[in-house]
A and B are shown apart, each in its own frame.
Chain A
């Protein structure tokens, strides 16, 4: 029955084609970022409404950003901004994947580690043409570390929108009781002070000078490594942690300090008695720790929590061999960009430009949320919060030796690999540092290759 066979074959073929088409259609739907990009008529005065998604959620934060938006709308009466707060990266990524009219035009993120992916995938558009059009020189406008964490391989797909800097917090009462007259500047001074400030109690501590363990809230490997100026990747894009002596030096210093303060197990047990990092039970605020590495936001938290301790801030100490670089610190922050799929990019750029480069806007927002301002002009503005403890972080942000973690194509995966090695080293699970670093570098390179 040739005709029956033909008809069966045709049906099967039709079914296969339909199935393939359906699969392709549905698979295509998952990748449906609108790439029309584009111009709108906002420059010509036409009314345009853009959507801005950001992650701030506290009342003072949303109030401050809304005030900035109101000022922007006064300056640009034809551009209206619909603001959506409390948005995580996962949510904005999902919306940008889906595209369409409900997707945001302007997006911000707290995770500078994700810049590599935002730029590489072109989901956030390259802002270089906009910067050039308006004659903005990024290098003259933004501090170098902030410019570094907002771009990936020359693609400036985001701009810094307020920053964070890390320094040393110390308890002045504890310092006086231990006979310490000034904050330490080098790590050898720091280690000696940490030991002097430690008061044992039973099998724990009444007061610990400093908790060097990598799980001690902000005492992460990347935050320490800024004091050495580690670069993480070589010019060829491959991990250089096995050949960069600063990584070995940091891991060795941290492990030695752990040993001087009583050993890993004892410190870990003490760590589990800490309250939440972002609460009045923070161990520095309760007096459990005499020194801590933390960001500039803690200056506001200590006041909000009405902590009774007498405290001050200083740059985190540097290795003895790099004493001349004292004043540096780790920097990160919030970034903002424009969705590649936005059809209102001209209006979106006006908002991004205002939020990131208007000195008054940057300063007022920084003062309101106690962040480090993200432009050189704003850092030098007389309108900035004059509190000396906060000023420490402004100085760290201005310091030419301050560094950040570089953007990578697979986000912060390289930091996780390094952290995991750090955990193994501090706990004594990994004793062969050279072998551990070589294996970790290999792991990082394999992950980066996989993402390319």
Chain B
């Protein structure tokens, strides 16, 4: 009986049991429509440019699809091919991870260093800011070609002057041991974007905190460690996460440097192979191009794209889980 009463009471008090007046229902519907209308630009953009491509990439990764004929389901065949038979995958993965670790670290360190330097300069500030920022504006293809000529081991001025100084003359983009460091140099040269971000963050650190630290006898390193870094750590975090994502998508500079240094234009009977020299500049995005457009294997290209997505997500999640270590003092 008590149970029955309780059930009735519950049923009586349940909000769904109350009839909703038609006017209120219409009002709610109008509100929902208005909300959707305001959200629609984002929803359409998200659907067309993110959700659909992502879903179709997953779909095509299980299909044999050459871009011309309708796709045919092949199960895990593309995945097996990429992991076991595609000759460049593991090399490309290693190269990409090398670039993520070395290039991102050096870009953040140098970006922060230049940012600190520029905020300390008392005269010629405008000149130095411009000088450090300008390389970032150079188009990637033009900048890479310029670097390939400067670092040409046969005719480039860099090796010429290194030789004059009695120093070793690396092969740079022509030497598998030096090609990735040369690409890293190119990336560090275009540090302007990070310099501006770090400069803005550094100028935002409250000066009272530095004054207080100085009164407490803190030296330059301690001021950086206990005042500057905690204040700018969210920006460091931002730089690292975006740097990892950008480096995972590293394509243009690697393929242009390889093509210019190899001298191979490509054509029938003579294929240009990305990754020159000796596969040392293969990156995962180049494999998407190689499989999808040079080998007409869109399914396997989708597999590599998904691996790229998964690794980017894993890196980002890992970094965000460490978020507490990067929170600013104000947080």
Q: Are A and B a genuine interacting pair, yes or no?
A: yes
Q: Mark B41-77 against chain A: 1 for CB-CB distance below 8 A, else 0.
A: 0000000000010011001100001111111000001
Q: Mark A110-126 against chain B: 1 for CB-CB distance below 8 A, else 0.
A: 11110001000111000
Partner pick for A33 among B59, B68, B268, B295, CB 8 A cutoff: B68
Q: How far is the CB of B45 from chain A (nearest CB, A)?
A: 15
Complexed CA–CA distance, A450 and B153 (Å): 39
CB pair A446–B81 under 8 Å, yes or no, is yes
Complexed CA–CA distance, A90 and B293 (Å): 7
- Residues of A with C-beta under 8 A to B55: 23
Assess A222 versus B264: contact at CB under 8 Å? Given A117-B296, A450-B297.
no
CB pair A222–B66 under 8 Å, yes or no, is no
Q: Does B273 contact A (CB under 8 A)?
A: yes
Residue of B with least CB distance to A226: B269
Q: How far is the CB of A447 from chain B (nearest CB, A)?
A: 7
Assess A451 versus B68: contact at CB under 8 Å? Given A113-B271, A412-B268.
no
Partner pick for A97 among B67, B153, B294, CB 8 A cutoff: B67
Q: Does A16 contact B (CB under 8 A)?
A: no
Q: How far is the CB of A377 from chain B (nearest CB, A)?
A: 24
Assess A96 versus B68: contact at CB under 8 Å? Given A112-B268, A222-B269, A274-B263.
yes
Partner pick for B263 among A271, A332, A451, CB 8 A cutoff: A271
Interchain residue pairs with CB less than 8 A apart (14): A27-B59, A31-B65, A31-B71, A33-B69, A117-B66, A117-B296, A123-B68, A216-B263, A222-B270, A412-B268, A417-B87, A423-B277, A424-B278, A451-B66
Per the CB 8 Å criterion, the residue count for chain B at the interface is 46
Name the residue among B65, B66, B85, B269 with the largest chain A CB count within 10 angstroms: B269
Q: How far is the CB of B242 from chain A (nearest CB, A)?
A: 29
Q: Does B6 contact A (CB under 8 A)?
A: no
Complexed CA–CA distance, A90 and B292 (Å): 11
Assess A419 versus B271: contact at CB under 8 Å? Given A90-B293, A427-B278.
yes
Complexed CA–CA distance, A416 and B271 (Å): 6
For the residues of A in contact with B, the DSSP-based class is helix
Complexed CA–CA distance, A207 and B294 (Å): 37
Q: Does A152 contact B (CB under 8 A)?
A: no
- Residues of B with C-beta under 8 A to A40: none
CB pair A215–B264 under 8 Å, yes or no, is yes
Q: Does B267 contact A (CB under 8 A)?
A: yes
Q: Does A148 contact B (CB under 8 A)?
A: no
Complexed CA–CA distance, A276 and B220 (Å): 52
Q: How far is the CB of B287 from chain A (nearest CB, A)?
A: 13
For the complex of A and B, the 9 pairs showing the least CB-CB separation, nearest first, are A273-B154, A272-B154, A121-B68, A220-B270, A332-B268, A446-B85, A222-B269, A412-B271, A112-B268
CB pair A269–B154 under 8 Å, yes or no, is yes
Q: Could you list which residues of chain B lie within 8 angstroms of chain A, going by C-beta atoms?
A: 16, 52, 55-56, 59-60, 65-71, 77-78, 81, 85-87, 152-155, 171, 174, 261-265, 267-271, 273, 276-279, 293-297, 300
CB pair A23–B56 under 8 Å, yes or no, is yes
Residue of A with least CB distance to B78: A450
Q: Mark A137-181 against chain B: 1 for CB-CB distance below 8 A, else 0.
A: 000000000000100000000000000100000000000000000
Complexed CA–CA distance, A423 and B270 (Å): 13
Complexed CA–CA distance, A112 and B263 (Å): 21
- Residues of B with C-beta under 8 A to A325: none
- Residues of B with C-beta under 8 A to A218: 270
Q: How far is the CB of B249 from chain A (nearest CB, A)?
A: 19
Assess A110 versus B66: contact at CB under 8 Å? Given A215-B262, A272-B152, A429-B278.
no
Partner pick for A270 among B154, B277, B296, CB 8 A cutoff: B154
Complexed CA–CA distance, A293 and B78 (Å): 39
Q: How far is the CB of A208 from chain B (nearest CB, A)?
A: 13
Per the CB 8 Å criterion, the residue count for chain A at the interface is 61
Complexed CA–CA distance, A223 and B264 (Å): 14
Name the residue among B60, B70, B77, B296 with the largest chain A CB count within 10 angstroms: B296
Q: How far is the CB of A298 from chain B (nearest CB, A)?
A: 14
Q: Mark A241-273 against chain B: 1 for CB-CB distance below 8 A, else 0.
A: 000000000000000000000000000111111
- Residues of A with C-beta under 8 A to B16: 1
Q: Does A324 contact B (CB under 8 A)?
A: no
CB pair B268–A113 under 8 Å, yes or no, is yes
Q: How far is the CB of A315 from chain B (nearest CB, A)?
A: 17
Q: How far is the CB of A109 from chain B (nearest CB, A)?
A: 9
CB pair B68–A97 under 8 Å, yes or no, is yes
Q: Mark A16-41 against chain B: 1 for CB-CB distance below 8 A, else 0.
A: 00000001001110110100000000
* A306-349 with Cβ < 8 A to chain B: 330, 332-333
- Residues of A with C-beta under 8 A to B65: 31
CB pair A223–B269 under 8 Å, yes or no, is yes
- Residues of B with C-beta under 8 A to A30: 56, 67
Assess A220 versus B153: contact at CB under 8 Å? Given A23-B55, A31-B71.
no
Q: Does A71 contact B (CB under 8 A)?
A: no
Residue of B with least CB distance to A218: B270
Complexed CA–CA distance, A133 and B77 (Å): 42
Complexed CA–CA distance, A33 and B65 (Å): 13
Complexed CA–CA distance, A217 and B295 (Å): 23
Q: Does A401 contact B (CB under 8 A)?
A: no
Q: How far is the CB of A361 from chain B (nearest CB, A)?
A: 23
- Residues of B with C-beta under 8 A to A451: 66, 295-297
Residue of A with least CB distance to B269: A222
